[in-house]
């Protein structure tokens, strides 16, 4: 049971990494010195760090969890990023996207119950 928490933590780190990428990508100045651009890119660098950390937790969990069980749970990251996109970046949510999200959640539930 401990492994499920490690998987979920790995997914959370990956999702936060994606959010950091988006934030960083929208805040890099188009003009300015390379130093200013590097300083502005700290969220992207942070996102890369979180992705690396996520990978370490993922590998640790895979020592004892079946890949066919664990891998579909990564889809939870889609759900987290979807919500963050709406609440943090005010991105629009179409009914079709929402329907896709419901299907993803259904798949996660089915895999988690197996």
pLDDT, tens digit, 9 for 90 and up, residues 63-111 = 999 999 999 999 999 999 999 999 999 999 999 999 999 999 999 999 8
Instruction: Kindly tell me the sign of the dihedral angle through the C-alpha atoms of 61, 64, 67, 72.
Output: negative
8 A C-beta contact, residue 114 and residue 88: no
* Total number of domains constituting the chain: 1
d(CA 61, CA 41): 31
| Token output for 67 | 């890949």
d(CA 73, CA 8): 8
d(CA 9, CA 57): 8
* Segments forming the whole domain that contains residue 93: 2-113
Q: Give the chain's mean pLDDT.
A: 92
């Amino acid at each position: 049971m401990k492994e499920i928490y490690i998987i979920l933590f790995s997914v959370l780190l990956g999702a936060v990494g994606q959010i950091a990428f988006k934030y960083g990508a929208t805040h890099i100045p188009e003009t300015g010195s390379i130093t200013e651009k590097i300083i502005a890119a700290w969220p992207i660098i942070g996102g890369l760090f979180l992705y690396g950390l996520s990978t370490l937790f993922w590998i640790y969990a895979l020592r004892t969890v079946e890949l066919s069980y664990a891998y579909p749970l990564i889809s939870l990251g889609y759900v987290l990023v979807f919500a963050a996109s709406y609440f943090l970046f005010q991105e629009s949510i179409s009914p079709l996207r929402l329907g896709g999200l419901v299907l993803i959640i259904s798949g996660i539930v089915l895999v988690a119950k197996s």
